[in-house]
């Protein structure tokens, strides 16, 4: 074989919230000199010469840790890293005027506080009303010549679920997009979520390590695979913030960014997210179902009509200044009010044994 491809580093949109992943190729000793763009077109499924050259030109391909030009000729033992755009599908982004909660903006990037209920990018069944539709309009008001050809997907390098609220970073330049994508892959991005989960968690803190991948039967769902036989590696660190007996408020720190990772991991350890209708949290999981208690829980479900999950903090190194940036978004009203209701409920009925 002329090269060794590390397929364990190839990801798909099915199980990653990070839209740029990578795979590595180590060139065999017997490889003849060949232009890298031609080499990659022959080795990457669906690649075209134009796409490969664009990726090389914006620094998404490195050889031996350094950026190169499309006419670079590969040599034996070269180590090639390719950052691949894992956007789920190519869809035209139609600019739409909408309110955006912009937390921070400079020439390189934007920080957005996404509300629950908003899809991040256009895709199957959601071609309008997404966050990217609004961002496209906003950015094109600043620069009418801006198009998706100039800035692919308007710099989105990660995403969060439709019914999860919280912080997203968006790159406004190729350099920023490249640098942020690398930080996500290297797990140097700081991401902390706040979640309300069912049950009284046994430990005050811990780590969940179980692969996350598509459910083998129900393709819209994801599943934890602790033996690593399916999916991709996924690691979530958690810490208890407050206990309410029937439910627990936790902080989750992501080491990896798999789709539905926190939701799947919490279900896996027996603590599904409160009102998570995908993973069993939309029913009473802890507590005897008597009339007053059921009515109380139903009222909570009415207040927070989605999984109680919020991307609260986001930290990274600024792609131009090299300074550490850190942002925090307060809990949205629905989660905040439900937490207050549980706190008042426990104070009124006493501690749960």
Closest residue by Cα to residue 23 from 112, 86, 89: 86
CATH class of 102-185: alpha beta
Domain boundaries defined on the chain: 20-85, 102-185, 190-349
Q: Between the CA atoms of 129, 133, 139 and 140, what dihedral angle is there, to the nearest 10 degrees? A: -110
Predicted TM-score (pTM) of the model is 0.81
SS3 109: strand
DSSP code, position 332:
P
CATH class of 190-349: alpha beta
Please answer whether residues 193 and 251 qualify as being in contact, where contact means their C-beta atoms are separated by less than 8 angstroms.
yes
Cβ neighbours of 57 (radius 10 Å): 13
49 φ, ψ to 5°? Answer: -60, -40
SS3 23: strand
Beta bridge partners of 222: 214
Q: Rounded to the nearest 10 degrees, what angle do helices 333-349 and 291-303 cross at?
A: 160
Please answer whether residues 206 and 228 qualify as being in contact, where contact means their C-beta atoms are separated by less than 8 angstroms.
no
Q: For 64, left (φ over 0), alpha (ψ -120 to 50), or beta?
A: left
Q: Note whether 20-85 and 190-349 share their fold.
A: no
What is the full per-residue pLDDT of the chain (353 aa) written as tens digits? 333 333 333 334 445 566 555 667 888 888 888 999 888 888 877 778 887 887 888 777 889 888 888 889 999 999 888 876 544 455 677 889 999 999 999 999 999 999 999 998 877 667 788 998 899 889 888 877 765 555 445 678 888 999 999 999 999 888 888 889 888 878 899 999 999 999 999 999 999 999 999 888 887 899 999 998 888 899 999 999 999 999 999 999 999 889 999 999 999 999 999 999 999 999 999 988 788 999 999 999 999 999 999 999 999 999 999 999 999 999 999 999 999 999 999 988 765 54
Active-site positions read 161
Largest CA distance in the chain: 76
Q: Count the helix, strand and coil residues of the chain and give each as a percent rounded to the nearest 5.
A: 25, 30, 45
Q: What is the distance between the alpha carbons of residues 139 and 277, in angstroms, rounded to a whole number?
A: 35
pLDDT of res. 104? 97
CATH of domain 20-85: 3.10.290.10
Q: What is the distance between the alpha carbons of residues 131 and 123, in angstroms, rounded to a whole number?
A: 12
DSSP string, 220-254: TSEEEETTSSSSB--EEEEEEEEE-SSEEEEEEEE
Q: Would strands 165-171 and 309-317 be described as parallel, antiparallel, or unpaired?
A: parallel
């Amino acid at each position: 074989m002329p090269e060794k491809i590390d397929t364990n580093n190839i990801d798909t949109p099915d199980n990653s919230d990070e839209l740029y992943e990578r795979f590595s190729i180590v060139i065999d000793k017997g490889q003849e000199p060949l232009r890298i763009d031609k080499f990659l077109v022959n080795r990457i499924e669906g690649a075209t010469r134009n796409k490969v050259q664009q990726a090389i030109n914006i620094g998404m391909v490195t050889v031996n840790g350094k950026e190169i030009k499309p006419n670079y000729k590969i040599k034996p033992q070269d180590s090639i890293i390719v950052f691949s755009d894992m956007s789920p599908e190519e869809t035209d982004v139609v600019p739409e005027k909408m309110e955006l909660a912009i937390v921070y903006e400079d020439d390189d990037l934007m920080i957005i506080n996404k509300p629950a209920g908003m899809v991040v990018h256009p895709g199957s069944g959601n071609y309008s009303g997404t966050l990217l539709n609004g961002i496209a309009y906003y950015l094109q008001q600043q620069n009418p010549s801006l198009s998706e050809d100039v800035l692919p997907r308007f710099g989105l390098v990660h995403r969060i679920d439709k019914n999860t609220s919280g912080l997203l970073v968006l790159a406004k330049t190729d350099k920023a997009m490249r640098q942020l994508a690398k930080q996500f892959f290297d797990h140097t991005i700081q991401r902390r979520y706040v979640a309300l989960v069912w049950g009284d968690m046994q430990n005050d803190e811990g780590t969940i390590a179980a692969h996350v991948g598509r459910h083998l039967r129900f393709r819209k769902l994801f599943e934890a695979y602790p033996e690593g036989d399916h999916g991709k590696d996924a690691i979530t660190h958690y810490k208890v913030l407050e206990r309410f007996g029937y439910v627990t408020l936790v902080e989750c720190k992501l080491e990896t960014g798999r789709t539905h990772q926190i939701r799947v991991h919490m279900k896996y350890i027996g603590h599904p997210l409160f009102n998570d209708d995908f993973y069993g949290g939309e029913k009473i999981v802890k507590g005897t179902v008597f009339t007053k208690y059921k009515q109380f829980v139903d009222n909570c479900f009415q207040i927070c009509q989605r999984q109680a999950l919020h991307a609260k903090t986001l930290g990274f190194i600024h792609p131009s200044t090299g300074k550490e940036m850190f942002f925090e978004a307060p809990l949205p009203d629905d989660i905040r009010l439900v937490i207050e209701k549980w706190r008042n409920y426990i104070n009124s009925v006493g501690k749960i044994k």
